[in-house]
Chain A
Amino acid sequence: MTPPRPTKRPGSAAPGIKLLISAAALAGTIGGWALFTLKQEAAALATTPPSLALELPPLPTLVARSSAPEVAAVGQAAAPAPALRRVSAPAFSSAPAPVTITRSSR
């Protein structure tokens, strides 16, 4: 009569290994996607400025100066706008020195 062999619970370690493998696969997948996403964002940041920067007003020092000269004669009376000119700047002229000057009575 053979003694009874101890009962071996078949596959008693398999669920743990399977669980470990599954967890590792899941972690790998998630990690991979995370890395991929980070790379994509990094690439996008490198090629286009952040949208936030576009919405900011230009810095005062970077505002383009008007190309119009200070003394700028524009349309005459027939034009929609009257002829305008800044007084502070002398008019370009090749005129000789005036013989006299017209001004309000004094």
Chain B
Amino acid sequence: MPTDIQAPEILYGPLSPMLIVFAAACIGVLVEALAPAARRRGIQVVLAVGGLLAALVAIIVQRGARTLTAGDAIAVDGPTLFIQGVLVVLGVLSILLLAERGLDGSGGAVVARASTTPGSREDMRLADSDAMQSEVFPLAMFSLGGMMLFPASNNLLLMFVALETLSFPLYLMAGLARRRRLLSQEAAVKYFLLGAFASAFFIYGVALLYGYAGSVDAGKIFDATGDVGSNDVLLYLGLAMLAVGLLFKIGAVPFQAWTPDVYQGSPTPVTALMAACTKIAAFGAVLRVFYVAVGRDQWDWRPMMWAIAILTMVVGAILAVTQTDVKRMLAYSSVAHTGFILIGVIAVSKAGLSGTLFYLATYGFTTMAAFAIVTLVRDSSGEATHLAQWTGLGRRSPLVAGVFAFLLFAFAGIPLTSGFMAKFAVFQAGTAGGAGVLVVVGVVASAVTAFFYARVVVLMFFNEPAADGPTVAIPSALTATTIALGLAVTIVLGVYPQPMLDLADQAALFIR
């Protein structure tokens, strides 16, 4: 006899930030369908930025929300709202970078028509026109919506759907570069095949955890870990598979192989979105899985994460030293940062959680500004990303080189930058949480990374510029805003971090 099904209660208030972003993305698709071609780009930019700002307002309105909703599938709590707030602001900045068209003729960084064959006569003609594939804005919005849902997912199936929602648009966007299209398409293929491979592991892990707990709710899995009679083999196998998918997204060793290739091949604004926002969202999901779902079994998963954190820091730092391309160097530096942030995750404490959140915010803004600078240094064939081409940039354009040097110092964790405060926060939490060895490795790895950042600074300021070197393009207000805001956050959080630390501290409590 079928019984009545209770409709899940849906609290639209706490969900409103995500609903606004997804709605803006859907309207963006309609704009692509209905608006005349010439006006699409302008409408899309206004729509995307407006949608994200509206979502930011919604997040501020909901700042006190601590609730489970939609049948316990979505958890809107402190970490969720903190991460969503950071994502939305960074999302606005990356949309501004995508909308920039003053640097490359009048076209911007995104391909004019993705369906033309690279190198064909039509492609050459379109590359110098002002056309662009304005679908990139709805794609970015869908991706950002998925990123906001990812750390909010209290249900592992929803987490999988969110993972794919954030990944699919990124796979496509990776292949949309205006210049060097072969490289870009290759990056898209690699990112897609490896990403799909990793998410297959993720969902297999979800299936095994379903077999373990009989449910994929994080809370139910937590309850099941307290039962003595459960089949722990399923738990460990499932968790390991789940971790493969998550560690791929944060770019931890040994799942980092895609990072440099994809970062280098993608259009730089998309790389900025990927490097800053994807990492933040994925760490949010990592925190929810390891703190909420399997928080009781921390003695089982911590050794595994120890090994991964150490490997990530060491490999990221050492390989960064050998790079000759600015974007690849930043990619390996982001791998090393993943290792540092993992120290905060491994601490499994309130301090570790708030330190991780703070680190993610500082890292996101610094990364966004650094990639924005990369878009400025150009020669006749597009962006000049080879390090040799950056020789003597400080003589030619002291302001841009100076800002980039400052951002590199923030990556290295020099005092009076946000990077120092962030590293301090996670290292302190790590020491208190009994991860002293990790902190020692972290300090050594920081020193190694500081070495190669210093090498770039020396290259830019103390070497003679080459005669036929690249020029520094003058950005429009769009890119300038992104750089200025990223730089401002990097400075302010380095000099006066207390309000942000307090905010992260207040946010640092998961609900179950």
Q: Do A and B form a real pair?
A: no
Residues on A lying within 8 angstroms of B by beta carbon are none
Residues on B lying within 8 angstroms of A by beta carbon are none
